[in-house]
């Protein structure tokens, strides 16, 4: 039996997560796998009802489960709160408390979505399949000191970018191990022409690379990488980068696939409890309208089967079913194109579930 903590969160979080749970239930039923679900609250939803974006009870529920399916958190309503009360704090704290330092964000182009991609056909024709590996519990997101002090004519605000050898080593190992099972190339993305942390990254990754001579390694500055992604995305296999650069480049990579509504992620760590979430946010402007794309959440469920439960074949069942539904022309609004059939969040979840129920 697999126990899954489900954290719907805010905005479109609940709608999309519901569809991912539906898909997991379809997999469970058709292939006789026992999944059970335990809902927990986080983000603005938890702040409003329990006074804390990440209540202790939610952490307990997560720790009693084998895996976590996370929706999205945040919304304009809570935008002016201090950092520790902000909904975003829920996901940042969960990542930190559970030691989820390795964030995998695969950006793959589904053939039938070529029209939704902003890239030119000549570029798309060369295909792309990128694994962005983002360091998730360090860097400027967590460095100290941080905060604000009063100065003469206003304030001074400080965030600190910091990385240690150990933090870089462990994420580099993850990247090389994953590259070994792919096309054996790691591109390290940094700003080592300017930043001290980036210079340490290069040094440490080079030394870890000595144990992975079968994997090709190259280095790009983050500004150049953001350009290369739109000009020649096919050059990338694994992109290894820090927390903030990874946040930015993964949104860019997502857009190349047609929509940010398509990209899943897996957050892994040393232990055995991992978290799966779409890379998009809570999109409060379209919440509750049944228009959000649930595919990123559904593909996150597929990553859960692959990385937490070692059910590679079942992950492929979900991925192939998503591909099949797209090939039949069904689209949510974000990936809609002439000649396709527009469906809502719920319908997309149902179509994919039905595909799984009929899977041979
Ligand atoms: C992401 C999101 C989060 C991040 C926010 C919601 C804190 O943008 O997962 O990419 O910056 O990590
Ligand atoms: Mg982001």
Q: Domain of 265: which CATH number?
A: 3.40.718.10
Is the pLDDT at 227 greater than 90, yes or no? Answer: yes
Tell me the residue range of the domain where 124 lies. Answer: 118-257
251 given a catalytic annotation:
yes
Is the pLDDT at 236 greater than 90, yes or no? Answer: yes
Nearest CA residue ID for atom 4, ligand 1: 247
User: What confidence category does residue 83 fall into, taking pLDDT thresholds of 50, 70 and 90?
Assistant: confident
- Average pLDDT, whole number, for the chain? 97
Q: Does residue 110 belong to any structural domain of this protein?
A: no
Residues 207 and 302 in one domain: no
Q: Is 247 in the pocket of ligand 1 (CB under 6 A)?
A: yes
Ligand 1 atom with least separation from CA of 72: 6
pTM score over 0.85: yes
Q: Which residue has the higher pLDDT, 349 or 111?
A: 349
Nearest CA residue ID for atom 1, ligand 1: 279
Nearest CA residue ID for atom 5, ligand 1: 88
Residues 94 and 137 in one domain: no
pLDDT of residue 46: 97
Q: What percent of the chain has pLDDT over 70?
A: 100
pLDDT of residue 70: 98
Q: Is 88 in the pocket of ligand 1 (CB under 6 A)?
A: yes
Strands of the chain (E only): list them: 2-9, 35-39, 67-72, 102-108, 129-135, 143-151, 154-160, 185-190, 216-221, 238-241, 264-268, 274-278, 330-331, 341-342
Ligand 1 atom with least separation from CA of 243: 12
Is the pLDDT at 206 greater than 90, yes or no? Answer: yes
How far is residue 347 from each of residues 103, 321, 352, measured CA to CA in Å?
29, 14, 9
Q: Does residue 40 belong to any structural domain of this protein?
A: yes
Of the residues 211, 234, 257, the one at which a domain ends: 257
Q: Select from 74, 136, 263, 281 the residue to mutate for testing ligand 1; criterion: most ligand atoms less than 8 Å from CB.
A: 281
Residues 184 and 315 in one domain: no
Q: Select from 100, 247, 278 the residue to mutate for testing ligand 1; criterion: most ligand atoms less than 8 Å from CB.
A: 247
For the segment 275-291, what is each residue's pLDDT rounded down to a tens digit?
999 999 999 999 999 99
Ligand 1 atom with least separation from CA of 251: 10
Angle between helices 196-209 and 165-180 (to 10 degrees): 50
141 given a catalytic annotation:
yes
Q: Does residue 263 belong to any structural domain of this protein?
A: yes
Q: Does residue 112 belong to any structural domain of this protein?
A: no
Q: Does residue 202 belong to any structural domain of this protein?
A: yes
Is the pLDDT at 84 greater than 90, yes or no? Answer: no
């Amino acid at each position: 039996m697999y126990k899954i903590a489900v954290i719907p969160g805010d905005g479109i979080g609940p709608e999309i997560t519901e569809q991912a749970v539906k898909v997991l239930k379809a997999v469970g039923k058709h292939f006789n796998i026992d999944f059970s679900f335990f809902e927990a609250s986080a983000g603005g939803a938890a702040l409003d009802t329990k006074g804390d974006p990440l209540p202790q009870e939610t952490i307990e529920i997560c720790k009693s489960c084998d895996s976590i399916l996370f929706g999205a958190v945040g919304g304009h309503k809570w935008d002016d709160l201090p950092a520790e009360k902000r909904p975003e704090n829920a996901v940042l704290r969960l990542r930190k408390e559970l030691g989820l330092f390795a964030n995998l964000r695969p950006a793959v182009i589904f053939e039938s979505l070529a029209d939704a991609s902003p890239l030119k056909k000549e570029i798309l024709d060369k295909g792309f399949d990128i694994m962005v590996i983002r360091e998730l519990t360090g860097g400027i997101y967590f460095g100290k000191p941080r905060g604000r002090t009063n100065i003469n004519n206003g304030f001074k605000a400080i965030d600190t970018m910091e990385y240690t050898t150990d933090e870089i080593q462990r994420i580099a190992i993850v990247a090389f191990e994953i590259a070994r099972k792919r096309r054996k190339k790691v591109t390290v993305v940094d700003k080592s022409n300017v930043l001290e942390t980036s210079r340490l990254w290069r040094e440490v990754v080079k030394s870890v690379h000595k144990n992975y001579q079968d994997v090709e390694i190259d280095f790009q500055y983050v500004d150049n990488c953001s350009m290369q992604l739109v000009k020649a995305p096919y050059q990338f296999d694994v992109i290894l980068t820090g927390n903030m650069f990874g946040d930015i480049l993964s949104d860019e990579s997502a857009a190349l696939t047609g929509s940010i509504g398509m990209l899943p992620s897996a957050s892994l760590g040393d232990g055995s409890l991992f978290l799966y979430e779409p890379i998009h946010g809570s999109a409060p402007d379209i919440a509750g309208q049944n228009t959000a794309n649930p595919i990123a959440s559904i593909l996150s469920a597929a990553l859960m089967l692959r990385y937490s439960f070692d059910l590679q074949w079942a992950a492929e069942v979900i991925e192939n079913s998503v591909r099949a539904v797209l090939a039949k022309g069904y689209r949510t609004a974000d990936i809609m194109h002439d000649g396709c059939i527009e469906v809502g969040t719920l319908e997309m979840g149902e179509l994919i579930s039905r595909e799984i129920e009929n899977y041979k």
